[in-house]
Amino acid sequence: MEIVLRDSNQGPFLTKVLDYAQAESLLDETQLAEIKNKAILMSLKLADKFYNKHKMHLLENAAFDVIGVASLGLMSLSNHDQAIAFKLLIAPNGMVKSFQKGWSMLSRVSKYKLNGKSIYGDIDPILLDKISTPSDADEWLGWQSYQDALLDFNSEESIVGLLNQFYAQSTYDPLDCLSLENVFAEVVLYRLLFGPIKVRQNLKQNIAKIEFDDAWFTLEFIEQQVEHALSELPSTLAETIRTDQGKYFTAGLLRTLTFAKHYRELRLDNASPERLERYEDKEGLIGLLGWPVYLVM
């Protein structure tokens, strides 16, 4: 492994820290050699653990992974401060601790991304590929890639929280591609129609039994229902949902409620499943915030 020291503002954080230390005359050749040797040893161990059965010829990739993951961990441990990062790096096992921190960060946000086995254990290979970098790369977007993955992870964790709190069936499948906004909107819509009970896949079947009240069809009333649902959630989850809500969340729910009223009328007229489906398609099923997409069998 060759850790190239150069003047760069965009490259891997590990390289930037070493560049900084060299420029400030903080790094001597012995220290640099120790860091390089440790990085080489870590690359060999990583390759032996994950690549030997799959990528025996890609030892270089292991080195890039070490640089990227260690950069990620070092940024987190130092809060992006290069002076603090350098002190951490030259401490005993500083390189190892930085890598371990970065690996644990990636492992956490990979929780819902692994639909099958990964050659990297509990790390999403697509995410690791974005983090991995040669030391002399002109640009490293590893931190932003992690932030994007963290945002997705937090959204999925919030969906799981909503399912556990409000749904009768709380099993979460990432392949369902649910959005936090739509899951919460379905909670508000269902509870408005049926009361404070667990959400089930029976809205379309039972909607004909609901008497719609004209008082429901105002933005103020919808907002009250939203706030009531949020009040039943842990504060952190409620704040995440508030932040995730789009500008037209309440208006979107009102549109869906209006659609639901007409859908009910069709059910009362004994409309065929095909006619109901055509009506959903005409009104823009995907655009109906909170309207369930399950099939009525």
Return the pLDDT at 57.
Answer: 59
Tens-digit pLDDT profile for residues 5-26: 444 467 899 999 999 999 999 9
Confidence label for 285 from pLDDT (cuts 50, 70 and 90)? low
Q: Is pLDDT above 70 for 2?
A: no
Give the mean model confidence (pLDDT) for residues 50-60.
66
Return the pLDDT at 6.
Answer: 44
Return the pLDDT at 274.
Answer: 92
Q: Is pLDDT above 70 for 53?
A: no
Return the pLDDT at 8.
Answer: 47
Q: Which residue has the tokens 């009328």?
A: 265
Confidence label for 116 from pLDDT (cuts 50, 70 and 90)? low
Tens-digit pLDDT profile for residues 158-213: 999 999 999 998 788 877 778 999 999 999 999 999 999 999 999 998 999 999 99
Q: What is the pTM of this model?
A: 0.83
> CA gyration radius for the chain?
26
**Do 100 and 111 touch, CB atoms closer than 8 A?**
no
Give the mean model confidence (pLDDT) for residues 252-281.
93
Return the pLDDT at 286.
Answer: 61
What share of the chain has pLDDT > 90, as a percent? 69
* Structural tokens at position 178: 């649910």
Burial 209-231 (b: 16+ CB within 10 A, else e): eeebeeebeeeebbeebbeebbe
Torsion of CA 238, 240, 243, 247, to 10 degrees: -70
Averaging pLDDT over each range in 25-34, 219-228, 239-248, which range is the top one? 219-228
Q: Is pLDDT above 70 for 56?
A: no
Question: 3-state SS of the chain?
Answer: CCCCCCCCCCCCHHHHHHHHHHHCCCCCHHHHHHHHHHHHHHHHHHHHHHHCCCCCCCHHHHHHHHHHHHHHHHHHHHCCCHHHHHHHHHCCCHHHHHHHHHHHHHHHHCCCCCCCCECCECCCHHHHHHHCCCCCCCCCCHHHHHHHHHHHHHHHHHHHHHHHHHECCCCCCHHHCCCHHHHHHHHHHHHHHHCCCCECCCHHHHHHHCCCCHHHCCHHHHHHHHHHHHHCCCHHHHHHHHHHCCCCHHHHHHHHHHHHHHHHHHHHCCCCHHHHHHHHHHHCHHHCCCCCCCCCC
Q: Which residue has the tokens 């003047």?
A: 7
* Structural tokens at position 137: 């790369």
Give the mean model confidence (pLDDT) for residues 138-167.
94
Q: Which residue has the tokens 């039943």?
A: 232
Return the pLDDT at 5.
Answer: 45
